[in-house]
Chains A and B, each alone.
Chain A
Amino acid sequence: MRFDWRRAAAVARKEWFHIRRDPFTLALALVLPLVMVVVYGVAIDFNIKGVSLAVSDSDASQASRRLVDTFDSSAYFRILPAASPAQAVEDVVAERAKAALIIPPDFEKDLSAGRGARAQLLLDGADNATVAPVSQYAATIQTMASERIAGVDLTPPYTLRTRFLFNPELNSRWFVIPGLTVVIMAILSIFLTAMTVAREWENGSMELLLSTPVEPLEIIAGKAAPYAVLGAVALSFVYLIARLGFGVPFAGHLWVFALGCAIFLLTYLAQGLLISVTTRQQTIAMQLSMLTGMLPSNLLSGFVFPIASMPKFFWFFTMLLPARWFMVIARRTFLEGSSLLQLRVPFAALSASCVVMVALATRSFRRSLE
């Protein structure tokens, strides 16, 4: 088979004309990354601060005030005074507060008598997303409050000093935005290519292409090229917003990240093509790209739900997903500065899925033309 660059370039040029005149494609490629970065970066903040805490202090003693002050000064909680324990509970039920702290009347007396004073912390268990961090904060605050109330330094026999590597402040944006590059690229590449070949079949223009001496591989290369460029542009866009807009650090080598992007993009372009070739209809192609591209890259890549906590089946299943491996590459190059050698496993897995997908797509495309 003879591959002719000029014919492939002609296909690419024609495809570029389509893109330029189709506001939907351009919007999808340029606006979608922007919207997603802003939504995930600004609106969705996985760090919880200023949790409203309804406080009913029936003791009103020095000790109880110290306890409340410790919560108040932590910045994680916002105090909402309640007249009675019932009122505090009512605040949680009515969604005015996320948690309630109830201090009984004999708090200080029990404390000084050495009977072991008790206070109660009520959390809204229906809101799974806040319970875990809030109870964690509360535990830390309890230790601090104990020291303050007792007025002594309760030094334990040993200390466990926790330090967070790579993301010292546990800033969730640092974690989310690199992962977002994966989701955005997955959506763009798979959607756009899935539509492009299906459109040729639907219009009947595939016949026109085939009646000329153009080769299948020239069509594929020509069609993929402009979308690859578009994907790269969108990605640079996300990268710049991440670095400049949100101050996400980039610790690794840009070329390692770029290499990962290129392999991932190629894999998903091929997957889009495969969808396009098999469905030949734009609407079905669209739905299939959602199902096989967008959903897994969102839900099963480790972007939102940690893979380590998935049931065994999914834990193995995600191994087949290029998005899972690219997610590792994106996060580790951004935050940990991992080298290609350190990332050899995800790179090998991603490359393997790329080879398989490209082979499948070209084979099914050739078959469909016969």
Chain B
Amino acid sequence: MSAEPAVEARGLSVRYGDFTAVDRVSFSVARGEIFGFLGANGAGKTTTIRVLCGLLPPTEGAVRVAGRSYADGERAIKEKVGYMSQKFTLYNDLTIGENLDFIASLRKLEPSYYARRRDELMELISFKKGLGEKVGALSGGTKQQVSLAAALLHDPEVVFLDEPTAGVTPAGRDRFWKLIRRVAGSGKTVFVTTHYMDEAEQCGRIALMRSGKLVAMDSPAGLKKSVFPEPVFEFDPLGTLSFAALAAFESHQAFSFFEPYGPRFHAAAAGPEAWARWRPELEKTFRIREIAPSLEDVFIRVVESAA
């Protein structure tokens, strides 16, 4: 039982008419894993998540989530998973207690079980204000935490978080990720999408999507290694660079990758010979030092520049 992956997709495709939103995607996620799902907007992340949550039957292929599949009936998957969608989905004009009561009744939780679980979750998110507080009066970060609690109310085995920290302050994001780790630590599988690379770094494994296809999947360290087999350097300009000079560097034959990174640049060498030949020349303009690629470099190379 425990050997079975928590989430499994095999040859999953979703098409809307002529448009293919998700194109033959296969992967599996182990129990207790924090699985990051990255990609540009419109890459098919949300569609994939909707399929995995039991909201959208796939056009082709099969999914198995927490041991359930679409063949087990319409609600089979929904009963086992928690879903926190992109937008904030609790009702602002209702209190926290009313929101949670509502979800508990939709899921038909036992009243005694629900009361215990609710207190547990409020403790988990260290929520000090009363349940009588209106949701609309909470800060963005706290709202997201309450949303997470709502998604966990029925003790799902897998929880899907679609951009849970969009629009939340850095401190709020940090707190939210502590929660995610705690949830995963309790044996739940967390499936999360994000546009923040520092958050992606905290995932056990990351899958990258581009135009509906899964283009890379590994641990953050593994991804950096496989996406950048060549050495990566940081270029710190010694003086100011004109736009024309910058454009020349961007298409310079010494580089296979050249992207701005704050005031500096991250670049990968096109090949050892070319690099050896050009380095002295380049050192007239830049201070150069070898670095490990960042996840952002990986993302840009895989998801954006290769498009």
Contact = CB atoms under 8 A, between A and B. Distances in A.
Contact of B55 (A10, A14, A205, A210): A210
B287 interface: no
A178 to B, nearest CB: 36
A292 to B, nearest CB: 28
A116 interface: no
Residue in B53, B108, B151 with the greatest tally of chain A CB atoms within 10 Å: B108
A204 B78 CA distance: 18
B107 A213 contact: yes
Nearest to B104: A10
B89 A207 contact: yes
Nearest to A214: B106
Contacts of B150: 208
Contact of A208 (B90, B98, B105): B90
B55 A211 contact: yes
Residue in B53, B89, B94, B106 with the greatest tally of chain A CB atoms within 10 Å: B106
A213 B94 contact: no
Interface string A205-229: 1011111111000000000000000
Contacts of B103: 208, 212
B296 interface: no
A211 B150 CA distance: 11
Interface in A1-17: 4, 6-7, 9-11, 13-14, 17
A169 interface: no
B128 interface: no
Contact of A14 (B78, B79, B92, B102): B102
Contact of A6 (B56, B81, B82, B105): B105
B87 interface: yes
Interface residues of B, number: 29
B86 interface: yes
Interface in A181-198: none
A21 B94 CA distance: 8
Contacts of B55: 207, 210-211
A214 B56 CA distance: 15
A13 B93 CA distance: 13
* Interface residues of chain A: helix, strand, loop or mixed (majority): helix
Contacts of A208: 83, 85, 89-90, 103, 150
B78 A213 contact: yes
A17 B94 contact: yes
A306 to B, nearest CB: 45
Residue in B55, B92, B102 with the greatest tally of chain A CB atoms within 10 Å: B102
B117 to A, nearest CB: 15
B93 A22 contact: yes
Nearest to B98: A17
A21 B78 CA distance: 30
A203 B108 contact: no
A209 B89 CA distance: 9
B87 A203 contact: yes
A204 B85 contact: yes
Contacts of B278: none
A14 B87 contact: no
B98 to A, nearest CB: 6
A118 interface: no
Interface string B160-179: 00000000000000000000
Given A14-B94, A17-B94, A207-B83, A212 B106 contact: yes
Contacts of A211: 53-55, 78, 81-83, 85, 151
A18 interface: yes
Contacts of B75: 213
B89 A205 contact: yes
B107 A204 contact: no
B91 interface: yes
Nearest to B78: A213
B88 interface: yes
A4 B108 contact: yes
A14 B85 contact: no
B116 to A, nearest CB: 19
Contact of A7 (B85, B86, B92, B105): B105
Contacts of B83: 207-208, 211
Given A6-B108, A17-B93, A213 B79 contact: yes
Nearest to A1: B74
Contacts of B79: 213
B269 to A, nearest CB: 46
Interface in B98-120: 98, 102-103, 105-108
Interface in B38-94: 53-56, 75, 78-79, 81-83, 85-94
Nearest to A212: B106
A177 B86 CA distance: 49
Contacts of B53: 211
A18 B102 CA distance: 12
Residue in A7, A9, A18, A207 with the greatest tally of chain B CB atoms within 10 Å: A207
Given A14-B98, A21-B93, A204 B86 contact: yes
Interface in A85-123: none
A13 B97 CA distance: 13
Contacts of A7: 105-106, 108
Residue in B53, B82, B88, B103 with the greatest tally of chain A CB atoms within 10 Å: B103
Nearest to A20: B93
Nearest to A211: B83
8 contacts: A10-B102, A14-B94, A18-B93, A21-B94, A203-B87, A208-B89, A208-B150, A211-B81
- The list of the 10 closest CB pairs from A to B, nearest first, reads A204-B87, A10-B105, A208-B89, A211-B83, A213-B75, A207-B85, A212-B106, A14-B102, A21-B93, A214-B106
Given A10-B106, A203-B89, A212-B103, 14 more contacts: A4-B108, A7-B108, A9-B105, A13-B102, A14-B94, A204-B89, A205-B91, A207-B83, A207-B87, A207-B89, A208-B89, A211-B151, A212-B107, A213-B79
